[in-house]
Structure 1
Amino acid sequence: MADAPVVIYPPDEDGGRRVRVDGTILGMAYSVQDVAALLQMAGLQDVDEMDVVRSQVIEWRGGGSDVWIH
């Protein structure tokens, strides 16, 4: 899944995770809700928190959607 269009990087020391879509960093997320909001701002208006947790096109690095601590 190394070529996933959405990549969520491991948490940093503050618990934030970088969110990348198609090679572009959208910003930092501190929760699944933040990931959904960033994806919505990127044009994926129909994405919600459950989509973020269940999606097969999201590659979670350094832990899944429940990991927010460095």
Structure 2
Amino acid sequence: MDVPSIVVHPPALDGSRRVTAGDETLGVASHLDDVVEALRLADLEWIDPETSDLVEWQGGGPEDWPGLSEHHEQ
């Protein structure tokens, strides 16, 4: 089974992060649990987003969910 490249994109101003697999948007996540759910809904639940080499985290890792107030402080 070919698995597309999964990307958790950098946080938006509200702290949410877009999750994509190849050219397809799997969802928008506000927390790591949302990433897990997006993978589950795409039948990719066997991928651990925290440890898998199949997941590329851009703009911070699984623990980085800045909110709007953190963007203003930077």
Which TM-score bucket, shorter chain as reference? Answer: 0.7 to 0.9
Q: Percent identity?
A: 39
Gaps of 5+ in 2: none
Whole-Å Cα distance in 1 between the matches of residues 31 and 60 of structure 2?
13
Superimposed CA distance per residue, residues 9-67 of structure 1 (whole angstroms, 9 cap, x where no aligned partner): 011111100000122111100111100100100112334xxx11001110000011111
What is the CA RMSD across the aligned residues, in angstroms?
Answer: 1.4
TM-score, scaled relative to structure 2:
0.78
Instruction: Find the partner of 2:49 among 29, 49, 52.
Output: 52
Kindly indicate whether the alpha-carbon contact (under 8 Å) linking 1:5 and 1:23 is maintained by their aligned counterparts in 2.
Answer: no
Larger Rg: 2
**Which gives a bigger RCO, structure 1 or 2 (Cα 8 Å, sep 6+)?**
1
TM-score, scaled relative to structure 1:
0.82
How many pairs does the alignment contain?
Answer: 64
- Amino acid in structure 1 at the alignment position of 2:15: G
Whole-Å Cα distance in 1 between the matches of residues 45 and 20 of structure 2?
16
Stretches of 4+ aligned residues off by more than 2 angstroms: none
Q: Structure 1 residues 57, 46: CA separation in 2 closer, same or farther (over 3 Å shift)?
A: closer
